[in-house]
Amino acid sequence: MKITVGAALFLLGFGPICWGQTNSTMNTGGAGETAPLLSANTYAVFGATPQQEALVRSQIHIMQPAVLPLRVFFVAHSKYVDNTRIFHLQVPAGYTSAMFTHLPSRTIFIDADRYINDESLVYWLAHELGHLASNSAKEQDAERAARELRKRLRDEGKRRRHDVAGEQAKRFPPSAAQFFASFASTGNL
Ligand SMILES: [Zn+2]
């Protein structure tokens, strides 16, 4: 319930809002506002479960986007639909309608009722961060920027798998059979 109130207050606070302006006159963030230094605390996450929030924060941390959102809202489907209407959002064919970014306020809206799984959430989160990084409402621009972010996620995933494999090798040293085989071949005790 608090989420709904919070979202409504948030919307009121911004007054008239336009969506999808891709021309160069659109100024995001205001003249005095610069991209914040990367830190887990420079943006707010609303309406998420603790797990969702942890996932969003850890994945954004790994992706190191050039521009962070200021807010990430998980909202109920009806609220999400309201927001898409308020922002005159039209979702191009082939793109998810489970989340969108309002560029002027650097706000990402996620339809909490269409949360499919962590993987798809992260995939499309990269897309939304791509909108912010490219400062563009165009899907192609967002995807171009998202590719680099997804690559960072893959690289991190590989690194972690590698670490796990290394840990397992340490924990499970060569078997007794291997040990005795090597002893037999060298003759050293
Ligand atoms: Zn998009």
| Averaged confidence pLDDT in the chain | 77
Model-level pTM? 0.67
- Could you tell me which residue, 93 or 163, shows the higher pLDDT? 163
| Residue 27 tokens, joined | 């100024």
List pLDDT tens digits, range 129-150.
Answer: 999 999 999 999 999 999 999 9
pLDDT digits (tens, 9 = 90+) for 69-127: 999 999 998 898 888 888 877 766 666 678 999 999 999 999 998 887 899 999 999 99
Protein residues near ligand 1, an ion, with CB under 5 A: 139, 142
Q: Which of 76, 84, 78, 139 is nearest to 107 (CA)?
A: 84
Q: Where are the domains of the chain?
A: 2-13+36-147
pLDDT class for 182, splitting at 50, 70, 90? low
- Tell how far the Cα of 155 is from the centroid of ligand 1, in angstroms: 24
pLDDT digits (tens, 9 = 90+) for 24-48: 333 344 444 444 444 445 899 999 9
- Whole-number pLDDT of residue 129: 97
How far away, in angstroms, is 100 Cα from ligand 1 center? 6
Residue 37 backbone zone (phi > 0: left; psi -120 to 50: alpha; other: beta): beta
Q: How far is the CA of 128 from the centre of ligand 1 (A)?
A: 6
Q: Which helix (H) or strand (E) holds 161?
A: helix 139-171
Q: For the domain bounded by 2-13+36-147, which CATH number is listed?
A: 3.30.2010
